[in-house]
Amino acid sequence: MAFVLVIPIIGALCIALLRRRPDYRDAASVITAVCLFGAVLSLIAQLGVKPFQAWVLFELLPGLRLAFSLEPLGMLFALLASGLWVVTSIYAIGYMRAHHEEHQTRFYVCFALTIAAAMGIAFADNLLTLFIFYEVMTLATYPLVTHHGTERAVMAGRLYLGYLFATSIGLLLFAIIWTWTLTSSLDFRSGGILAGKAENPTLLILLALYAFGIGKAALMPFHRWLPAAMVAPAPVSALLHAVAVVKAGVFCVMKVVLYVFGIDLLHDTGLSVWLMYVAAATIVIASLIALAQDDLKARLAYSTVSQLSYIILGAALANAAGVLGGSMHILMHAFGKITLFFCAGAIAVASHKTKVSEMAHIGRQMPITMSAFLIGSLSIIGLPPLGGSWSKWYLILGAVDAAQMPLVAVLLVSSLLSIAYLLPVVGRAFFASGPEQSHGHEIHEAPLPCVLPLCVTSAGCLFLFFFAGEVYEFLAPLVQR
């Protein structure tokens, strides 16, 4: 586990030292990503029947430790973040070079530090460790959001820091301190640590502080930072939406529900019913806003806001099907959404087009890219044979088990809204007539380092449909009593 935490930091140092040799610097980024993924894979064998055997790095105060441990949900997040970092690193090389971006060394260094923070979050054994790495991730991603240095990018960066620090320090940190005063512990434990420690009104307030304090989950109304951050380059958008940042947010929400509150406590008291409906409102409202966006990345950003609340809804359902469906959706959504952002970036590289209204005819000029966009879209919509269909199926089962039929309707309507804001992009690209050239040059596929990763991730959407059973079995210990 020490290697997992240290590899991306060493990689960041190597990237910085190789700043005057771009080829070696880019190679160092890819090699670091591959080494990290291999190290995370090696930990699967250590994931035993006692997941909370902590490795203590050091103790700040008695009972307050910087400690790490293995459990299925954290392992899933670590595998996801490290695995997608490999393809994102390759994609970033093609994108950054094709766009002749400045400050590429800073970009790759911050990328590596962000993944280091993601590993700390994934394997955190307690709320203190989780909070520290959560804040490190915010700081590491700020230079990525403001990468272009324009006035718009700077404003987006201020909004990014403002929302994430205001929620984490004003709400999340307060919730963590309150939990400590109630339980004298911040450790994650199966079944939770809050049962019998406080009355229901107190627990209700605590749940609200955690849900809204984890601002990276983009639960409305604390979501505006996410669409604003789309001013960043496409590889950053992929990082924000699929590899690390927002997935870290919903992962934290799920982990708090499982290991701080416990699903039995939430199920028996009904304390999370309100959170179900806040998540449902976010799903529908964000989908409706996505419909009105002409900028492709903005449309995808509001789609992400909507899809993240699927995972929060699964946690709030507080039953086996809901938790497993929400946890599976972390993985399924990641592959679908990273494919869509890779495609959006490839289109920008090849044609300099960023708006849906400009996509006419582009599918016949970039058939590989737009075919991958179709596959990613169908996975986000939840149609078989693509991975997103399984996670949505289990979420629907969870809503039925909880006797929340209005939420079943929300999930079905959301899929229809996803069709309405995603498939017209594909339809326009393949069937609408448009110019053969863009900005005076013939449009063709983006460079191979951009096209290859989107082919891999779109194939992953299909692969996950047929191996969803293995993912389900891997996560099943989360809800076993």
User: Exposure of 445 by Cβ count < 10 A (0-12 exposed, 13-18 middle, 19+ buried)?
Assistant: middle
| Cβ-proximal residues to 228 (8 Å cutoff; 6+ apart), any chain | 155, 156, 159, 160
Q: Are residues 115 and 123 in contact, defined by beta-carbon separation less than 8 angstroms?
A: no
And the tokens for 84?
């997608």
User: Which of 381, 107, 130 lies closest to 239, judged by CA?
Assistant: 107
Q: CA–CA separation, 360 vs 345, rounded Å? A: 17
Domain segments of the chain as ranges:
272-481
Q: Give the number of residues written for the chain.
A: 481
Q: What value does the mean pLDDT take over residues 139-165?
A: 88
pLDDT digits over 70-113, tens only?
999 999 999 999 999 999 999 888 888 877 777 888 889 998 99
pLDDT tens-place string over residues 335-382 = 999 999 999 989 988 888 889 988 888 888 899 999 999 999 999 999
C-alpha distances (whole Å) from 156 to each of 144, 151, 160, 185, 229 are 11, 9, 6, 37, 6
Is pLDDT above 60 for 163?
yes
Please tell me the distance from the alpha carbon of residue 359 to that of residue 341, in angstroms, as a whole number: 15
Torsion sign (Cα): 85, 456, 144, 331: negative
Nearest to 341 by CA among 216, 442, 457, 449: 457
- Average the pLDDT over 304-310 and give the result: 94
Residues in Cβ contact with 417 at an 8 Å cutoff, skipping those fewer than 6 apart: 284, 287, 288, 290, 291, 306
Q: How many Cβ atoms from other residues are within 10 Å of residue 180's Cβ?
A: 15
Pairing verdict, β 55-61 and 64-68: antiparallel
Residue 221 has which token pair?
């109304």
Confidence of residue 49 (pLDDT cuts 50, 70, 90): very low
Residue 51 has pLDDT above 90, yes or no: no
Could you report the per-residue pLDDT of 194-250, keeping only the tens digit for each?
A: 988 889 999 999 999 999 999 999 899 998 988 888 777 777 777 776 778 888 999
Place of tokens 């490190």: 136
pLDDT 10s digits, 104-137 = 888 899 989 999 999 999 999 999 999 999 999 9
As a whole number of angstroms, the distance between CA 251 and CA 217 comes to: 8
Three-state SS for 103?
Answer: coil
